[in-house]
Structure 1
C-alpha cells in the first residue's frame, strides 16, 4: 500500500522578530533624520521630532540632549567660557592696578609714579631719579619700599612682570656704562634681581632695556627728558 504524501510546512520567523525589525528600521530612520536636520531650523526639527514621537508612542526629550548638535551650543559655550576667562582676567588686572597705586602711595612716590592700563596689561611708570641717582645703577634706599610692595603683589598673583629700563637721548658721559643701552638694560636687570631676592619666581620676571627708543615725552626740554628717564613695570598674563 502506497504511503500518503506528507505536506511540508515551512515555518517562518516568530512574530516578535518582525516587530523588532520594524523598531530597528524606525530607529535607523530617526537617526538619519537627526543627521539630515542637524543644520536646519530648530522649529522644523521639533515638528519632525513630534512625528517620530508619535510613531514610537513614547516621550522623547527635546531639550539639552540634542540642543548642542542642532544649534551649535558647543561653540557658544566655548565662547562664553572664553569671555568669562577674559572678564576674570580683567578683574584681576584691575585689582593688581589698584594694589599698585596703593603701593605707590605707601612709598611716598605719588608725584614721580603713575599707573596706566594698556591693551597688554597694567603698566607702572616710575621716574628714574626716584629709583637711581643720575647715571647710577644702585637702587636708592627710599625706593626699596616700593619695590618690596611690588614684589609682594606679584608673588600673590598669577601674573608675569616685565621690568623695562628707559632713558633720554643725552649720551652717557663717564661712569661704568658707555651708552644709554647699557645703562637702561643694567637698571632693568638690577631691579629684576632685587625682586628675585624678595622671592618673586624667576620664571615670572623679564628684564629689557630700551635706551631712548620709546620716549613718552619730547627730549627737547628738561621736563620731557626727566619723564623719559624711567623704569616701567608691565604686569602681563602669566
Structure 2
C-alpha cells in the first residue's frame, strides 16, 4: 500500500490541504502580497501627485516673481527724515528733542524732564506742546510703525506705584502711546516697551548724565 511518504513533496503538500481543509499551501501569502503591492502603488501614486503639485506651485511662484517687476509699478516709501527735521527743528535747537538716524528709519529722543515728574508716569501739561508737534508730523507721515521706548536712569525705584525701573519705564512709554493715539495716530502702528536703565545714552552716574539717560525715544520706521 502506498503512503504519503511515497508521493512527491508537492503532492504531499496539496494532499494535506485537501484532507485537513486548512490553508497549508501558502496561497494566502499570494493575496497578502497582492494587497501590499496595491498599497505600495497607491502610496507611490499619491507621492507623485504631491510632487507634481509642489512643482506647479514653484513654477507659478517663479513666474510671478519674474513678471511682477515688469508689469507692476515700483512702490517706494518716501523718507520722513527731512519732514521730521524741518518740522521739529525748533524743538531740536532748544534741546528738547534729538533726531538721529536709526537702522530702519529715524529715532526721536525726548528728555523725560519735559514729559514727567521724577518717579512718575503722568504726562506734564508742558509736554503737550512737544508731543503734539511730533504727533502732527507722524500723523501725516508714511504709515511706518512707531516703537515708543521708555528709559530711566540707574537709580533704583521702589514705591507703592512702581516696583522697579521696569514698571516705571513701561508706564511712561504707555503714557506716550496713549497720547499719540488720542492725537490721531493709528493704534496698530504703535508699540510701547520699557527699557529701564539697560540702554543708557551716556556713561556715568553723575546728576547730568542721569538726566540725559531719563528719556523716551520714538523709533519711527520707514
TM-score strictly above 0.5: yes
Matches of 1:164 and 1:142 in 2, distance apart?
20
> 2:211 corresponds to which residue?
226
User: What does 1:25-174 align with in structure 2 at a 5 Å threshold?
Assistant: 78=69, 89=77, 91-99=78-86, 101-102=88-89, 104=91, 110-157=94-141, 158-174=143-159
> 1:36 corresponds to which residue?
none
Unpaired runs of 5+ in structure 2?
Answer: 1-64
Matches of 1:119 and 1:96 in 2, distance apart?
18
Paired residue secondary structure (1:117) = strand
The alpha-carbon distance between structure 1 residues 201 and 99, as it changes in their structure 2 partners (threshold 3 A), is: farther
Matches of 1:216 and 1:132 in 2, distance apart?
18
TM-score, normalising length from structure 2? 0.62
Alignment: residue pair count: 156
Paired residue secondary structure (1:199) = coil
Deviation at 1:210, TM superposition (A): 0.4
Deviation at 1:104, TM superposition (A): 2.2
Deviation at 1:220, TM superposition (A): 2.3
Task: Say if 1:171 and 1:179, in contact at 8 Å, map to a contact too.
Answer: yes
Matches of 1:226 and 1:182 in 2, distance apart?
18
The alpha-carbon distance between structure 1 residues 192 and 161, as it changes in their structure 2 partners (threshold 3 A), is: same
Matches of 2:160 and 2:107 in 1, distance apart?
30
Deviation at 1:173, TM superposition (A): 4.1
Deviation at 1:110, TM superposition (A): 2.1
Larger RCO: 1 or 2 (CA < 8 Å, sep 6+): 2
Larger of the two Rg values belongs to structure: 2
The alpha-carbon distance between structure 1 residues 98 and 181, as it changes in their structure 2 partners (threshold 3 A), is: same
1:209 aligns to 2:202 (yes or no): no
Unpaired runs of 5+ in structure 1?
Answer: 1-73
Paired residue secondary structure (1:111) = coil
TM-score, normalising length from structure 1? 0.58
The alpha-carbon distance between structure 1 residues 223 and 175, as it changes in their structure 2 partners (threshold 3 A), is: farther
